[in-house]
Structure 1
Amino acid sequence: MTTSASASVDSGSPTSPDLVRMSASKHFPIKLTKTNFLVWRRQVQSTLIGLNLLGYVDGSVKAPRPFLDSAHTQTNPAYTLWYRQDAILLSAILGSCTDVVQSIVSLADSSADAWSRLARSLASMSRGRIISLKAKLAKNPCGNRTIAAFVADMTEIAGELALADSPVSDEDLAVHIMSQLGDEYSTIYQSLRGRNDCVSIEELTTILEDYERHLREHASATADLVPTANHTQRARSDRHGDRGDRGGMFNRAGGFGQSRGGHHARGSSLGGNRGGLYCRFCDLPSHDTRFCRKLQRFLRENNVTITPPNTNNPTAHVTVSNGDLGQSNAQWIVDSGASHHVATDPNSLNTLMEYEGPDEIRLVMPY
Structure 2
Amino acid sequence: MSRPSRARAPRRVRGASVVGRRLELDVGPVAHGGFCVARHEGRAVFVRHALPGERVVATVTEGGADDRFWRADAVEVLTASPHRVTPPCPYAGPDACGGCDLQHVAVPHQRELKAAVVAEQLRRLAGLDVAVVVEPVPGDTPAGSGLHWRTRQRYARTPDGGRAMRKHRSHDLVPVEECLLEAPAPAPHSLHGVEFEVAADGFWQVHPGAPEALVAAVLDGLAPRPGESALDLFAGVGLFARFLADAGCTPVVMVEGDRTASAHSERNVPGATAHAGDVATVLARMPADPVDLVVLDPPREGAKRQVVEAVVARRPRAVAHVACDPAALARDVALFAVHGYRMTSLRAFDLFPMTHHLECVAILAT
Q: TM-score range with shorter-chain normalisation?
A: under 0.3
Greater share of residues in strand: 2
Greater share of residues in helix: 1
Which of structures 1 and 2 has the larger relative contact order (alpha carbons within 8 angstroms, sep 6+)?
2
Q: Which of the two has higher C-alpha Rg?
A: 1
TM-score, structure 1 normalization: 0.22
